[in-house]
Structure 1
Amino acid sequence: MVLKQLSLINYKNFKTADFGFDEKINCFVGSNGIGKTNALDAIYQLAFGKSYFNPIASQNIRHGEEFYVVDGVFEKHGKEEKIVCSLKKNQKRVIKRNGKIYDRLSDHIGLIPLVIISPADRDLIIEGSETRRKFMDGVIAQSNKSYLHNLLNYNKVLSQRNSLLKYFALNNTFDPATLEVYNEQLNEYGSMIYEERKKFLDIFIPIFRKRYVSISGKDEQIGLDYESQLHESSLLALLQLNLGKDRAVQYTSQGIHKDDLNFSIAGHPIKKFGSQGQQKSLLIALKLAQFDFLRDLAGDTPILLLDDIFDKLDENRVGQIVQLVDDQHFGQIFISDTHPERTEKVVKATHQTYKMINLESDL
């Protein structure tokens, strides 16, 4: 997968911008606030139909404007793919593939395999379980269409069941038959999602551990464990067993929407006991394992975005990343950095073709 061209209109701080790219390494350089991360986010937008950094779509429109357009030309297996993402204020996002609008945005996911490594990834360690579930779901959904549809259906039914529980409490009533319909639907979708998550992690965890050793240079006891209420019981049984609690709190307390990933070092939570270096190594290993997983399943090399990577890592880890970039298994890579000389020195060492894009001179 290669991105050949990118055009932006009113996207974040860009009024208009047009970029052509090298097939291997592309570096967005310039001072802070110039738009380096925004350029990477625009590429992410083409793959997922949304921003990596700001989930409120309307806030990605340039201040004072009414719409944005992100336009990309890709080459996939020798065939050109033109993807356009656009948004007008107070309207729904639109994604077009070769001029045709998708009926469902979810149908686009997986067409453009892509992995981003960013300082914002630290949220995977410090934030709540929802952030880690989104990571897991995002990786699986890029290679499994039915998984994404099951997840969307599960969340829809979950919302309906929660609304029903609130209705019962507000109106001092109870309808077990209607609730049972939702229980059965949640069990159906939730069980399939649970099994897919287990299968994914059986493959993913060994890849992750191998990547961690290669990045940290240490064979430390790094742990990644899947936590789920469904390990011990079926979802249907859990919903029935916790009916009283759910009615009291007015939401569904059991299910795959409570799943989590636990990161540990030597058996202890890495959030509390891991050094900054260990945490950074874990996050990069996690994302590069995602890269490996997608490449092996999709049969296509994902695009790799490295956001502000050199400012956030020590010299040793930068060296590790450079060696990985030089690996023949990597395809097209986009890097953002504030120091053009430092970046060019690093990419030259890879012996790959590259392009430097100085946003201060280009805008």
Structure 2
Amino acid sequence: MIIKSLELCDYRNYKDLHMHFHEGTNVLYGDNAQGKTNVLESIYVCATTKSHRGSKDRELIRFSKDEAHIRMFVEKYGIDHKIDIHLKKNKSKGVAIDGIPIKKSSELMGMINVVFFSPEDLAIIKNGPSERRHFIDMELCQLNKVYLHDAANYNRIISQRNNLLKQVHYDESLKDLIDVWDEQLVHYGIRIIQERERFISRLNELIIPIHQKLSGRKENLKIVYEPNVVGEEFAEQLLRRRHHDLKSKSTTVGPHRDDMGFYIDDMNVRQYGSQGQQRTAALSLKLAEIDLVKQFIKDTPILLLDDVLSELDSFRQNYLLESIREIQTVITCTGLDEFINSQFNIDRIFKVNNGSIENQQQEVKDE
């Protein structure tokens, strides 16, 4: 799976951009705030319909403009495809695959698979449970259409149940309707819990040996799934918590409150790990994610590295670069110093300057 080219029109700080990528390693370099990350973001939008920053559609549109366009040409399993994203300031986005509009943005998920890694991904380790749930959901939604369907239904039902809990405050006769939503919530919730269990189990098989190598065989990293409720107890817990839910006007039990923990031996990395251990755990997670995607799709994902190398020491830099030799990669950095001491090929270099990009050098090979 590779990106062949990208076109942007009135996207972020780009008025008009046409880029052709190499199937190997593509490096975008330049000063901060010039638009390097915006290119990676547009690729991510083409894969997931969403910004990795959580930005709203109107924030992706160039200042003073009402619309923006992204067009990306990709090759998947030897077949060429075109993805068009039409962003509108005051309307829902339009999405088309090979010139055919799709009814739901979710239909795009899994068309192409990307792994995005930035310094902010340390938040997966350091921040609250929502960051880790988002990681699980975004990966599973790209890989598993059934999970995507179940998660969409679960989130819809949670929203409707919460609205009902608020309405009951004004009309108690509506209380009996909660049972209807609870039955559906349990149905989809149990399926989500089971799929997350399988996902974490497969991820552990990959992350353990990766982290051992990164830590010089000194540490054993394990991910532990921490569900808010055990599947077979979900219905009982919903009923038990109903009085509390009515008071809080929100659903307080279910997989929307799940978490996962990272442990080195028995030490919780988030609470007690050093910054170095947290960074290594985040890197191990991303490398395991790449391998997991390979297993699922029988192909390589597209890797997006946003200014990550500057956050890693030389050993981890080289380990990362060696691990991605067979994967199309788009890397952003402020300079090319990170590559000077590595035995790594850069296949195409782009210099980014204030919303314009120059293809500076077509091929760079080790001598």
Q: Which residue of 1 aligns with 2:334?
A: 338
Deviates more, 1:259-268 or 1:9-18: 259-268
Name the TM-score, length of structure 2 as normaliser. 0.93
**8 Å contact from structure 2 (residues 207, 222) kept in 1:** no
Is 1:357 equivalent to 2:355 in the alignment?
Answer: no
Per-residue deviation, 1:338: 0.7
Output one character per residue of 1:202-253: Cα deviation in whole Å (capped at 9) or x when no partner.
2111212222222332331323111113327421111111112111211111
Output one character per residue of 1:95-147: Cα deviation in whole Å (capped at 9) or x when no partner.
11111111111111011011011011122123221111111111111111011
**8 Å contact from structure 1 (residues 132, 261) kept in 2:** yes
Q: Which residue of 1 aligns with 2:77?
A: 77
Is 1:271 equivalent to 2:270 in the alignment?
Answer: yes
Q: Given residue 39 of structure 1, which amino acid in structure 2 is its aligned partner?
A: V
Provide structure 1 residue ranges, at least 5 long, that are not aligned to the other structure. Answer: none
In 2: Cα distance, 1:134 partner to 1:258 partner: 11
Q: Which residue of 2 aligns with 1:120?
A: 120
Per-residue deviation, 1:174: 4.3
| CA RMSD in angstroms, aligned pairs only | 1.7
Per-residue deviation, 1:346: 5.8
In 1: Cα distance, 2:197 partner to 2:55 partner: 28
Q: Which residue of 1 aligns with 2:200?
A: 201
Q: Which residue of 2 aligns with 1:227?
A: 226
Q: What does 1:18-33 correspond to in 2, within 5 Å?
A: 18-33=18-33
Q: Given residue 160 of structure 1, which amino acid in structure 2 is its aligned partner?
A: Q
In 2: Cα distance, 1:95 partner to 1:87 partner: 9
Distance 1:346 1:291, change over 3 A: farther
Q: What does 1:62-101 correspond to in 2, within 5 Å?
A: 62-101=62-101
**8 Å contact from structure 1 (residues 308, 335) kept in 2:** yes
Per-residue deviation, 1:155: 0.7
Q: Which residue of 1 aligns with 2:364?
A: none
Provide structure 2 residue ranges, at least 5 long, that are not aligned to the other structure. Answer: 359-367
In 2: Cα distance, 1:237 partner to 1:314 partner: 50
**8 Å contact from structure 1 (residues 223, 267) kept in 2:** no
Per-residue deviation, 1:176: 4.2
Output one character per residue of 1:57-101: Cα deviation in whole Å (capped at 9) or x when no partner.
211111111111111111111111011112111010111111111
Deviates more, 1:222-231 or 1:59-68: 222-231
Q: Which residue of 1 aligns with 2:319?
A: 320
Regions of 4+ moved over 4 Å = none
Is 1:297 equivalent to 2:293 in the alignment?
Answer: no
In 2: Cα distance, 1:346 partner to 1:257 partner: 45
Q: Given residue 284 of structure 2, which amino acid in structure 1 is its aligned partner?
A: A
Q: Per the alignment, in what secondary structure is the counterpart of residue 304 of structure 1?
A: strand
**8 Å contact from structure 1 (residues 142, 294) kept in 2:** no
Q: Given residue 323 of structure 2, which amino acid in structure 1 is its aligned partner?
A: L
Q: Which residue of 1 aligns with 2:281?
A: 282
Q: Which residue of 1 aligns with 2:135?
A: 135
Q: Which residue of 1 aligns with 2:182?
A: 183
Q: Per the alignment, in what secondary structure is the counterpart of residue 55 of structure 1?
A: coil
Q: Given residue 348 of structure 2, which amino acid in structure 1 is its aligned partner?
A: K
**8 Å contact from structure 2 (residues 25, 330) kept in 1:** yes
In 2: Cα distance, 1:193 partner to 1:306 partner: 29
Q: Per the alignment, in what secondary structure is the counterpart of residue 63 of structure 2?
A: coil
Q: Which residue of 1 aligns with 2:363?
A: none
Q: Which residue of 2 aligns with 1:310?
A: 309
In 1: Cα distance, 2:155 partner to 2:346 partner: 45
**8 Å contact from structure 1 (residues 41, 51) kept in 2:** yes
Name the TM-score, length of structure 1 as normaliser. 0.93
Per-residue deviation, 1:183: 0.6
Distance 1:166 1:99, change over 3 A: same
Q: Per the alignment, in what secondary structure is the counterpart of residue 53 of structure 1?
A: coil
